[in-house]
Chain A
Amino acid sequence: GNSVTQMEGPVTLSEEAFLTINCTYTATGYPSLFWYVQYPGEGLQLLLKATKADDKGSNKGFEATYRKETTSFHLEKGSVQVSDSAVYFCALALYGNKLVFGAGTILRVKS
Chain B
Amino acid sequence: NAGVTQTPKFRVLKTGQSMTLLCAQDMNHEYMYWYRQDPGMGLRLIHYSVGEGTTAKGEVPDGYNVSRLKKQNFLLGLESAAPSQTSVYFCATDRVGSVDTQYFGPGTRLTVL
A residues contacting B by CB (< 8 A) are 4, 32, 41-46, 49, 51, 89, 93, 96-99, 101-104
B residues contacting A by CB (< 8 A) are 4, 31, 40-45, 48, 50, 58, 90, 92, 94, 97-102, 104-107
Complex CA–CA separation, A99 to B104 (angstroms)? 12
Complex CA–CA separation, A104 to B44 (angstroms)? 12
Contacts of A45 in B (CB 8 A): 104
Q: Quick check: B43 and A44 within 8 Å, CB to CB?
A: yes
Q: Quick check: A44 and B48 within 8 Å, CB to CB?
A: no
Complex CA–CA separation, A46 to B100 (angstroms)? 9
Q: Quick check: A43 and B104 within 8 Å, CB to CB?
A: yes
Shortest CB–CB separation between residue A22 and chain B, in angstroms? Answer: 15
Q: Quick check: B42 and A89 within 8 Å, CB to CB?
A: yes
Complex CA–CA separation, A42 to B88 (angstroms)? 11
The contact of A101 among B43, B94, B98, B100, by CB within 8 Å, is B43
Contacts of B48 in A (CB 8 A): 98
Asked, given contacts A89-B42, A89-B43, A98-B45, whether A42 binds B106 with beta carbons under 8 Å apart, the answer is yes
Contacts of A102 in B (CB 8 A): 42
